Structure 1
Amino acid sequence: MAGYRAEDDYDYLFKVVLIGDSGVGKSNLLSRFTKNEFSLESKSTIGVEFATRSLNVDSKVIKAQIWDTAGQERYRAITSAYYRGAVGALLVYDVTRHSTFENVERWLRELRDHTDPNIVVMLVGNKSDLRHLVAVSTEDGKSFAEKESLYFMETSALEATNVENSFAEVLTQIYHIVSKKSMEAGDGAAAAATVPSKGDKIDVGKDVSAVKKAGCCSS
């Protein structure tokens, strides 16, 4: 039992969703972050899967529960359950396929329809290792992120570039919002003690836009 308790010992549990078109590398971003693995043979995800990983932020243990879905239209029925309780999202496109970037706006609209307006969102341009095939410039990604008040990074799940940073940044920003709210409410200790259970929605308050604009777009 001791091992199980250690695995379950965390201060906060945050649900983060991966969204974006099929084939942009969502599953490899997930496996790179949670298991440090990458598969060239990875198949399209069927339905939904999730993995967890814990990080230390300001001496607190943050457990991330990261959900990955098929980006294909035929799985649309899962959306509301998939998004429920999410406090962070990575919105992923493939820098070598311009159509996946064009669809980012639709994904963002769907995300905002199904989640709290203060969800922390990172726009991720994946496959940055394929420099000779780039179809979406860093500037285009950055300017869209600025327009929509999103964080922005370019990543390579293959080379493990910025994968850790992108997830860690989202989790850190969620934690800062939640801890700031609990401090304002004067119950910091109570907030840390009441770990949200799976599916619980954490209301991340109204102060996220200020945080986003200050810390946006480190590529």
Structure 2
Amino acid sequence: MASRKKVLLKVIILGDSGVGKTSLMKQYVNKEFSASYKATIGADFSTKEVLVDDRQVTMQIWDTAGQERFQSLGVAFYRGADCCVLVYDVNNAKSFEALDSWRDEFLIQASPRDPDNFPFVVLGNKIDVDESKRVISNKRAITFCQSKGDIPYYETSAKEAINIDQAFDVIARNALAQEESEDFSGDFDDPINIHIDNDRDGCAC
């Protein structure tokens, strides 16, 4: 029996600087967490082999800079993405309010074939911080996700590894579904117009 082709899934993580994008990626890929903060310059990626319904896939997870001066790099990094992860800090209202602009920018820069159905996942990170410091409620985040087409939502802690595997399992599944839909429609980009001239003289024999 012929083996199925190897699948590479490109996942982009977006969000304001300091929300924990790098920490989430490192916790998922390497099961490690560092308390020291170092801003990502440009973009970096890690890969992880995962099973999705007994299918082996390679996730290529891109961790992008949250600083405004690096956003012009978006086009090169966003193109070809199969899923976009939007991250905010539940203790930082500004990072939550920025999700809309990150989502819009991704859709403009990545230009997915079907933007209305492109898979996003939202992660509310740093739930390990003192509950009294929390400023974005679970209900408010869910309402936002529902208003954007029922985006899957998870509250996470990269520090304590809370909901990391569960969230990335959904990310992998959604990315694989997107990849397969792109493959299915990829050969049918442009209709072929065939012109038949019925007015020609002659014998069709």
Aligned partners of 1:52, 1:177: CA distance in 2, in Å?
A: 18
Q: Offset of 1:179 from its aligned partner?
A: 4.6
Give the AA of the match of 1:21: D
Q: Which residue of 1 aligns with 2:118?
A: 119
1:3-152 equivalence runs, <5 A:
11-115=6-110, 116=112, 117=115, 118-130=117-129, 131-149=131-149, 150-152=151-153
Alpha carbons 1:46, 1:70 under 8 Å: kept: yes
5+ residue gaps, structure 2: 187-205
SS at match of 2:50: strand
Q: Deviations over 1:63-120 (max 9, x none)?
A: 1000011100111221100101101011000000011001111111111112311331
SS at match of 2:174: helix
TM value normalised by structure 1: 0.76
Q: Offset of 1:155 from its aligned partner?
A: 0.5
Aligned partners of 1:10, 1:154: CA distance in 2, in Å?
A: 34
SS at match of 2:82: strand
Q: Deviations over 1:104-140 (max 9, x none)?
A: 1111111111231133100110001112311100001
| RMSD across aligned positions (CA) | 2.0
Alpha carbons 2:11, 2:175 under 8 Å: kept: no
Q: Deviations over 1:3-55 (max 9, x none)?
A: xxxxxx97311000000000000000010011011110031111110000011
Aligned partners of 1:40, 1:123: CA distance in 2, in Å?
A: 23
SS at match of 2:83: strand
Q: How many residues were matched structurally?
A: 177
Q: Which residue of 1 aligns with 2:171?
A: 170
Aligned partners of 1:96, 1:10: CA distance in 2, in Å?
A: 43
Q: Offset of 1:151 from its aligned partner?
A: 1.2
5+ residue gaps, structure 1: 1-8, 186-201, 204-219
CA 1:52–1:10: 2 relative to 1, 3 Å: farther
CA 1:177–1:104: 2 relative to 1, 3 Å: closer
Aligned partners of 2:136, 2:100: CA distance in 1, in Å?
A: 14
CA 1:75–1:179: 2 relative to 1, 3 Å: closer
TM value normalised by structure 2: 0.81
CA 1:67–1:180: 2 relative to 1, 3 Å: closer
Verify: 1:154 aligned to 2:149, yes or no. no
Aligned partners of 1:154, 1:10: CA distance in 2, in Å?
A: 34
Aligned partners of 2:5, 2:24: CA distance in 1, in Å?
A: 23
